[in-house]
Amino acid sequence: MMPLVLIGVLLLLMALEFPVAFAMTGASVIYLLIRGDIPLVVVAQRIAVGVDSFVLLAIPFFFLAGELMNQGGITKRLVDLAQALVGGIRGGLGHVTVVTNMIMAGMSGSAVADATGTGAVLIPAMVEAGYPRVFSAALVGAASTIGPVIPPSIPFVIYGGITGVSVGRLFLGGVVPGVLMGVFMMGAVFVVAKRRGYRAEGWMSVGDAARSIRLAIPVMLFPVIILGGIFSGIVTPTEAAVIAVVYAVFLSMIFYHELTPAGLVRLLMTVAGNTARITFIIASAGLYGWLLAREGVPQMFTDFFLSISREPWAILLMVNVLLLILGCLMETTAILVILTPVLMNLITKVGIDPVHFGVVLTLNLMIGLLTPPVGMVLYVMVSLAKVTVTEFTKECAVFMAALVVVLGLITYVPGLVTFLPNLVMGR
């Protein structure tokens, strides 16, 4: 009975459009008041414990690095680099969009930040070049989901903080799936461009290409600094995020001269708000998850799935379907922090590698960012491009299909995820 109260009140509050953090905290408090034998002081205690993790300190710094890229001229240099590399292929600006997001993914770790940055630059450019506005928005939105899969990744940091799984192994595990996302999306762009007659923009002249590559070299040092520092053991993911911010400030304010001190202050205020929002969700989930565990919900959930099948492939299929459905109904961070402790109990029972599962979980949740009614990236793109939700969803279907194919590949070919972590860091 009490687990139903805990879950039912949460669903009711979310249906009433309470912010997810308030919904989780409110459901927890109502549960405690009805139960009556647990002091309310545990609310403060468990909320504090929920964010008492050193690795979570990386989140605001990766947020800030992404915002600095967007406001400091770094994104524009990446677009020019991508234009030099793939602009001459049919549907050239579409491929530029995908490649730009793949490169940005090695720096920011946030899909929303990547969508905002590349959308502000590339949607007007694609529209001016003759691409439909809705196609431009759908492609930019879909391509931005690569950001949290190719390292660094804010969802990987959260998952690692919750489960204790090595963030370094998760970062390495996301490399091949992230590249596959880019390759399949470029394939989708090529098919759509050929069917609709979208032209290639033509290759840059040798001189212009060389100039674009030269100006982008300092930017391309981002992944080297972040990932090289982590995998060499010199810095932790949190320390690497701080170094990324320092380097981004240097490029934006000193090297490219495109960010003023006043602009930096505005960015810090924006990042503070975004960080507070995510931290509050994680903290509230610490309380809510503790109460779920106390009521034995993870074990009941596990027993239910195992009663259907004990085969890992079947468990992964059921979990993927569940997550794809929930991705349409709940905010991504909320799903991650609420379900991760529950699902870990299940995958441990059937012998699924937690690194493999973390990458599958993250890619699945990224698809949810594109789906109504709560997809964050969807609403960013609708706002930037001035298109309707229905138009965006229809146009984005082909790119979501490509992402689902990649999800299926990494789900049932675990080596695509585990090969690099095992190669670099051992089994």
Tokens representing 224 are: 């080297």
Using an 8 Å Cβ cutoff, are 240 and 229 in contact?
yes
pLDDT in tens, the chain (427 residues): 677 888 888 888 877 878 878 888 998 999 899 888 888 888 888 888 877 777 777 778 877 877 787 777 777 777 777 777 776 777 777 888 888 888 877 666 677 777 877 777 778 878 877 888 999 899 989 998 998 898 888 889 889 988 889 888 999 999 999 999 999 999 999 898 888 887 766 677 778 778 887 877 887 777 777 777 877 778 887 888 888 888 888 888 888 888 888 888 888 888 888 788 888 888 888 888 888 888 887 778 788 888 888 899 999 999 999 888 888 777 788 788 888 888 888 898 889 999 999 999 999 999 988 887 767 788 888 887 888 888 889 999 999 999 999 999 999 999 999 999 998 877 7
Specify the pTM: 0.83
pLDDT at 415: 94
| Residue in the block written with tokens 């309380």 | 287
pLDDT at 170: 93
pLDDT at 404: 95
Distance CA 360, CA 414 (A): 9
Using an 8 Å Cβ cutoff, are 362 and 354 in contact?
no
Q: Give the chain's radius of gyration (CA, Å).
A: 22
Tokens representing 197 are: 């007659």
CA dihedral 27, 29, 35, 37 (to 10 degrees): 150
Percent composition of the chain: helix, strand, coil (DSSP 3-state, to 5): 80, 0, 20
**Cα dihedral 150, 341, 280, 5 sign:** positive
| Cβ neighbours of residue 210 closer than 8 Å, sequence gap 6 or more | none
- Residue 91 three-state SS: coil
| Cβ neighbours of residue 197 closer than 8 Å, sequence gap 6 or more | none
Q: Categorise residue 52: left if φ over 0, alpha if ψ from -120 to 50, beta otherwise.
A: beta
CA dihedral 351, 293, 13, 363 (to 10 degrees): -20
Distance CA 299, CA 352 (A): 17
What is the distance in angstroms between the CA of the first residue and the CA of the last residue of the chain? 43
**Cα dihedral 323, 337, 237, 105 sign:** positive
Using an 8 Å Cβ cutoff, are 219 and 187 in contact?
no
pLDDT at 1: 66
10 Å CB burial of residue 4 (0-12, 13-18, 19+) is exposed
Using an 8 Å Cβ cutoff, are 212 and 204 in contact?
yes
Angle ∠(276,373,62) on CA atoms, nearest 5: 30
E strand segments, 178-310:
none
Cα separations (Å) of 319 from 73, 267, 365, 397?
41, 37, 12, 22
Q: Where are the domains of the chain?
A: 57-425
